[in-house]
């Protein structure tokens, strides 16, 4: 692991500890995750939406500002995480990602639902609300 990756992981751990169930700050923007911190992020937060995306993906770029808005709206309730599939092929393979953007909803560390495609914000909100109630 290179120095930049080590620093990034350290900062993410600090952020995640602040967000732990004991209280602390809420995160109002998506968090970049990778193979090294994915499991920790998922297990330390009750509700997580993971956006599997790639830089070259047009629909992914269209969805990005919507994810940013949803992260602000659901801060404290749902953590939004982003996985760049080009940089994290092992994670993409682990969850069977064959099309992007794919969003997977994790509840208490387990994947409970997923959607594929750049859906409108209203549809994404319905999807999130439905999963919050489960």
Token pair listed for 31 = 């968090």
Strand partners, 32: 82
Burial 29-56 (b: 16+ CB within 10 A, else e): ebbebbeebbeebbebbebbbbbbbbee
Task: For residue 34, indicate whether it is catalytic.
Answer: no
Catalytic residue among 31, 49, 57, 67: 57
DSSP H helical ranges for 22-97 = 38-43, 58-73, 89-94
Token pair listed for 129 = 């609300």
Task: For residue 57, indicate whether it is catalytic.
Answer: yes
Quickly list DSSP for 41-59. Answer: HHHT-SEEEEEEE-TT-HH
Catalytic residue among 50, 60, 70, 100: 60
Residues belonging to the active site: 57, 60
């Amino acid at each position: 692991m290179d120095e930049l990756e080590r620093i990034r992981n350290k900062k993410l751990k600090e952020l995640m500890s602040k967000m732990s169930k004991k209280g602390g700050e809420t995160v109002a923007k998506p968090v970049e995750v990778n193979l090294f911190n994915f499991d920790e992020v998922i297990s330390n937060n009750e509700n997580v939406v993971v956006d599997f995306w790639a830089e070259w993906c047009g629909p992914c770029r269209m969805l990005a500002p919507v994810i940013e808005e949803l992260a602000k709206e659901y801060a404290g309730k749902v953590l939004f995480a982003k996985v760049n599939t080009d940089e994290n092929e092992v994670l993409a393979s682990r969850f069977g990602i064959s099309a992007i953007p794919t969003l997977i909803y994790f509840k208490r560390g387990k994947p409970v639902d997923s959607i594929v495609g750049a859906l409108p914000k209203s549809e994404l909100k319905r999807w999130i609300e439905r999963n919050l109630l489960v």
